[in-house]
């Protein structure tokens, strides 16, 4: 059996069908159609709890785990995150709006973005979000001014680029940081921004933030980032008496898309972060800050599975076999964007032994390969293909390319399936469009500008 099937509530049932959350995937596909995003609620909750338990065990100071909404966000997910006691990291007005609509406490929301529009900032200020993570000196000025107009004080973190860049299997410690995000350490820019923030009338600088990358398999780059950030805090303390109350080390822990992927366990990852912060505090004579992290992928990634119906099987003799399914780059753009790799099983024949290698393609007007070279029992039209580890950055990155309908999302748990987001309809595609403009209204609007 594919070892990636040993996760959460996933199992193969007596009928030889893939089952998640006590629900037979064949029945889910029949009832809700395909493509279908299936989310294992218990696994999401368990992942949240593992983070909290690990911090309780390894960090003597206060801490917060903020779920990174960009990985996957629907109203139901917001509710679940709240029930598990996590905070929420949002990175756009739309994510913030969704969180607020679901009743998430605004003071437990962190608001990110390298360019927050005035409209987004005002939305955040009006609702008094917990922290605004400021990305540039320009934003410091603009935010201070807007906070003054809105008659309040904004609690902020400064996002710093610590010169550590990490991706799967590797990391670089660069002198010169080439990134659109954050304030560089170089040439005293980070120190200058801290000083500027401390001098603002309507901003309260709570601490520092960094995020070094995503799908990271090593602990060391996070430890180096913690060391660099604490070093900066010590310098700022010496220079301007700045006290680091909060340190946010971002997200980034990797998950398993294919059997060879081997990220550290959540517990190991948290332990190494905590140890790095504690050690550097002692070394530099700083008090322990409140420690925050923002995991996204490692909370939802492995909890998601996408079900597709196999439509066409085309053998190109001595070259390859193409298996076309009823979705593609509109529900999963990651192979096209990042050359991402995946594992899959036939959900209706999960006990059959793999006997061929095929390429899974989507049905868009592109060569939208979903998986190149995956071992499967020889697929036939009508089979149900389950692509694993599609919980993070799939639904949230989905599009309507070729006017495809975005799939439904169902949360499964204890044999029940809840539709958290229904499948789009053709009418949904047209709901924002105008065929015959009301020319009088257009003229009036132009005249009023
Ligand atoms: C600032 C920030 N925080 C958190 C995350 C979440 O990262 P991940 O999903 O890899 O845990 C990201 C993702 O890019 C990010 O940019």
Q: Please indicate whether residue 274 is annotated as part of the active site.
A: no
112 C-alpha to center of ligand 1: Å?
10
Catalytic residue among 48, 210, 281, 365: 365
Residues in contact with 319: Cβ distance below 8 Å, sequence separation at least 6, in sequence order: none
Checking if the pLDDT of 229 tops 90, the result is yes
Q: Is the CB of 298 under 6 A from ligand 1?
A: yes
Per-residue pLDDT, averaged over 74-92, amounts to 98
Is the beta carbon of 214 within 6 A of some atom in ligand 1? yes
- Residue 173: pLDDT above 90? no
Check whether 165 has a pLDDT greater than 90. no
Give the count of beta carbons closer than 10 Å to the beta carbon of residue 390.
29
Please report which residue ranges of 291-425 form alpha helices under DSSP H: 297-300, 334-338
Residue 174: which pLDDT band, with cuts at 50, 70 and 90?
Answer: low
pLDDT range class, residue 177, cuts 50, 70, 90: low
User: Hey, what domains does the chain have and what are their CATH numbers?
Assistant: 3-40+301-430 (2.40.37.10), 112-295 (3.20.20.10)
pLDDT tens, 374-401?
999 999 999 999 999 999 999 999 999 9
Is 296 touching ligand 1 by the criterion CB < 6 Å? yes
Alpha carbon 402 to its chain's center: 25
47 pocket-lining for ligand 1 (C-beta < 6 Å):
no
Is the pLDDT at 14 greater than 70? The verdict is yes
| Neighbouring-strand partners of residue 24 | 19
Which one is predicted more confidently, 309 or 444?
Answer: 309
Higher pLDDT among residues 446 and 224, named by residue: 224
Q: How confident is the model at residue 7 (pLDDT cuts 50, 70, 90)?
A: very high
Once rounded to an integer, what is the mean pLDDT over residues 209-238? 96
Rounded distance, CA 86 to CA 49, Å?
A: 9
Q: How confident is the model at residue 125 (pLDDT cuts 50, 70, 90)?
A: very high
* Gap from CA of 296 to ligand 1 centroid (Å): 6
Q: Is the CB of 182 under 6 A from ligand 1?
A: no
The pLDDT tens digits for 392-438 are 999 999 999 999 999 999 999 999 999 999 999 999 999 999 887 78
Nearest-CA residue for ligand 1 atom 14 is: 214
- Atom 12 (ligand 1): residue with closest C-alpha? 251
Token pair in block for residue 196: 């500027």
3-state secondary structure of 167: strand
**Span from the CA of 214 to the centroid of ligand 1 (angstroms):** 6
Residue 198 CA, chain-centre distance (Å), reads 31
Distance CA 144, CA 154 (A): 8
Per-residue buried b or exposed e for 181-192, using 16+ beta carbons within 10 Å of the residue's own CB: ebbbbeeebbbe
**Per-residue pLDDT tens digits for 18-38:** 999 999 999 999 999 999 999
Three-state SS at 233: helix
Q: Find the length of the chain.
A: 449
Residue 171 has pLDDT above 80, yes or no: no
Does the C-beta of 294 come closer than 6 Å to ligand 1?
Answer: yes
89 C-alpha to ligand 1 centroid (Å): 9
E strands, 334-432, in order: 344-346, 356-361, 369-376, 384-388, 408-413, 416-421
Judged against a pLDDT cut of 80, whether residue 168 lies above it is answered with no
**What's the mean per-residue pLDDT of the chain?**
95
- Contact partners, residue 149, CB within 8 Å, separation at least 6: none
Model confidence band, residue 151 (pLDDT cutoffs 50, 70, 90) = confident
Kindly tell me if the per-residue pLDDT of 363 is higher than 60: yes
Does the C-beta of 135 come closer than 6 Å to ligand 1?
Answer: no
Centroid of ligand 1 to alpha carbon of 295 (angstroms): 6
């Amino acid at each position: 059996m594919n070892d990636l099937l040993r996760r959460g509530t996933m199992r193969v049932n007596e009928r030889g069908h893939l089952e998640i959350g006590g629900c037979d995937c064949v029945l889910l596909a029949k009832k809700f159609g395909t493509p279908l995003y299936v989310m294992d609620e218990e696994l999401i909750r368990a992942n949240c709890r593992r983070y909290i338990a690990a911090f309780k065990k390894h960090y003597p100071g206060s801490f917060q785990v903020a779920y990174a909404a960009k990985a996957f966000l629907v109203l139901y997910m917001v509710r679940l995150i709240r029930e598990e006691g996590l905070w929420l990291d949002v990175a756009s007005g739309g994510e913030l709006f969704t969180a607020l609509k679901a009743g998430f406490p605004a003071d437990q929301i962190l608001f990110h973005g390298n360019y927050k529009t005035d409209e987004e900032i005002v939305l955040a200020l009006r609702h008094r979000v917990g922290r605004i993570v400021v990305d540039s000196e320009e934003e410091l000025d603009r935010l201070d001014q807007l906070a003054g107009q809105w008659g309040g004080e904004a609690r902020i973190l400064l996002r710093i680029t610590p010169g550590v860049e990490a991706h799967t299997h590797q990391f670089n410690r660069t002198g010169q940081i080439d990134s659109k995000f954050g304030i560089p350490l170089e040439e005293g820019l980070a120190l200058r921004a801290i000083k500027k923030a401390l001098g603002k009338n309507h901003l309260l600088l709570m601490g520092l933030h960094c995020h070094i990358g995503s799908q990271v398999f090593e602990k060391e780059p996070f430890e180096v980032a913690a060391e660099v950030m604490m070093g900066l805090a010590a310098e700022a303390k010496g220079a301007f008496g700045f006290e680091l109350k909060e340190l946010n080390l971002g997200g980034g822990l990797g998950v398993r898309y294919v059997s060879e992927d081997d990220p550290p366990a959540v517990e190991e990852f948290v332990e190494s972060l905590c140890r790095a912060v504690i050690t550097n505090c002692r070394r530099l004579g700083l008090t322990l800050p409140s420690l925050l992290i923002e995991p996204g992928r490692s909370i939802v990634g492995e909890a998601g599975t996408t079900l597709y119906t196999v439509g066409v099987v085309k053998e190109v003799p001595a070259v390859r076999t193409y298996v076309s399914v009823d979705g593609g780059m509109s529900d999963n753009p990651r192979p096209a964007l990042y050359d991402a790799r995946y594992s899959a099983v036939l959900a209706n024949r999960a006990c059959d032994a793999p006997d061929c290698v095929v390429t899974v393609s989507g049905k868009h007007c592109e060569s939208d390969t979903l998986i190149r070279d995956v071992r499967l029992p020889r697929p036939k039209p009508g089979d149900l293909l389950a692509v694993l580890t599609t919980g993070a950055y799939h639904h949230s990155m989905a599009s309507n390319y070729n006017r495809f309908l975005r799939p439904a999302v169902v949360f499964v748990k204890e044999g029940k399936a809840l539709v958290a987001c229904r499948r789009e309809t053709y009418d949904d595609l047209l709901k924002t469009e105008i065929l015959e403009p009301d020319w009088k209204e257009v003229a009036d609007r132009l005249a009023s500008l």
